[in-house]
Amino acid sequence: MTESSVVYLPSPEFVAQANVGPEIYGRADADRLAWWAEQARRLDWETEFTDVLDWSNAPFAKWFPGGKLNVAVNCVDRHVDAGKGDRIALHWVGEPGDSRDITYAQLKDEVCKAANAFTNLGVRAGDRVAIYMPMVPEAIITMLACARLGATHSVVFAGFSSAALRSRIDDAEAKLVVTTDGQYRRGEPAPLKSAVDEALGTGADAAASVAHVVVVKRTNHDPSLNWVAGRDVWWDDTVGEASPEHEAEAFDSDHPLFLLYTSGTTGKPKGIVHGSGGYLTQTSSTFHNVFDHKEGRDVFWCGADIGWVTGHTYIVYGPLSNGATEILYEGTPNTPNEHRHFQIIEKYGVTLYYMAPTLIRTFMKWGRAIPDAHDLSSLRLLGSVGEPINPEAWRWYRDAIGGNRCPIVDTWWQTETGSCMISPLPGVTATKPGAAMAPMPGISVRIVDDNGHDVPRGEQGYLVVDEPWPSMLMGVWGDDDRYRDTYWSRFAEQGWYFAGDGARYDEDGALWVLGRVDDVMNVSGHRISTSEVESALVTHPDVAEAAVIGASDETTGQGIVAFVILREGITSIPDSFEQDLRNHVAVEISPIAKPREVNVVPELPKTRSGKIMRRLLKDVAEGRELGDTSTLVDPTVFENIRSRRR
- Which residues sit in the known binding site for ATP? 386-388, 410-415, 501, 516, 527
Computed on alpha carbons and rounded to an integer, the radius of gyration of the chain in Å comes to 24
- 461 lies in the site for ligand WTA, by CB under 6 A: no
Mind giving me the DSSP string for 174-212?
Answer: -SEEEEESEEEETTEEEE-HHHHHHHH--GGGS-TT--E
Which residues are documented as binding site for CoA?
Answer: 185-188, 310, 334, 524
User: Closest approach of Cβ 460 to ligand WTA, in Å?
Assistant: 13
- 500 lies in the site for ligand WTA, by CB under 6 A: yes
Alpha-carbon gap, residue 91 to 99, rounded angstroms: 7
Where b means 16+ CB within 10 Å and e means fewer, 54-68 reads beeeebbbbbbbebb
Alpha-carbon gap, residue 53 to 79, rounded angstroms: 28
User: Closest approach of Cβ 501 to ligand WTA, in Å?
Assistant: 5
- Region 411-430 residues binding ligand WTA, contact defined as CB under 6 A: 411-415
**Cβ distance to ligand WTA smaller for residue 401 or 436:** 436
User: Closest approach of Cβ 479 to ligand WTA, in Å?
Assistant: 18
Chain centroid offset of residue 48 CA = 31
**Cβ distance to ligand WTA smaller for residue 91 or 516:** 516
Site string for ligand WTA, 178-207 (x = CB under 6 A): ------------------------------
- 436 lies in the site for ligand WTA, by CB under 6 A: yes
Closest by alpha carbon to 65, among 408, 468, 523, 439? 468
- 491 lies in the site for ligand WTA, by CB under 6 A: no
Closest by alpha carbon to 180, among 225, 144, 128, 211? 225
Give the CA distances from residue 128 to residues 123, 131, 213, in Å, rounded to whole numbers and listed in that order: 8, 10, 13
Alpha-carbon gap, residue 140 to 227, rounded angstroms: 24
Are 383 and 353 in contact by the 8 Å Cβ rule? The answer is yes
Are 92 and 273 in contact by the 8 Å Cβ rule? The answer is no
Phi and psi for 369 in degrees, rounded to 5?
A: -60, -30
Determine the residue with CB nearest ligand WTA: 415
**Cβ distance to ligand WTA smaller for residue 342 or 487:** 487
- Region 509-528 residues binding ligand WTA, contact defined as CB under 6 A: 513, 515-516, 522, 527
- 264 lies in the site for ligand WTA, by CB under 6 A: no
**Cβ distance to ligand WTA smaller for residue 105 or 464:** 464
Which residues are documented as binding site?
Answer: 185-188, 310, 334, 386-388, 410-415, 501, 516, 524, 527, 538, 540, 543
**Cβ distance to ligand WTA smaller for residue 178 or 513:** 513
Which residues are documented as binding site for Mg(2+)?
Answer: 538, 540, 543
Closest by alpha carbon to 175, among 123, 138, 139? 123
- 501 lies in the site for ligand WTA, by CB under 6 A: yes
- 439 lies in the site for ligand WTA, by CB under 6 A: no
Alpha-carbon gap, residue 87 to 106, rounded angstroms: 10
Kindly compute the dihedral angle of the four CA atoms of residues 414, 420, 424, 425, in this order, to the nearest 10 degrees.
170
User: Closest approach of Cβ 421 to ligand WTA, in Å?
Assistant: 9
Q: Which of 385, 561, 562, 601 binds ligand WTA (CB under 6 A)?
A: 385
Which positions touch ligand WTA (CB under 6 A)?
262, 308-310, 385-388, 410-415, 436, 499-501, 513, 515-516, 522, 527
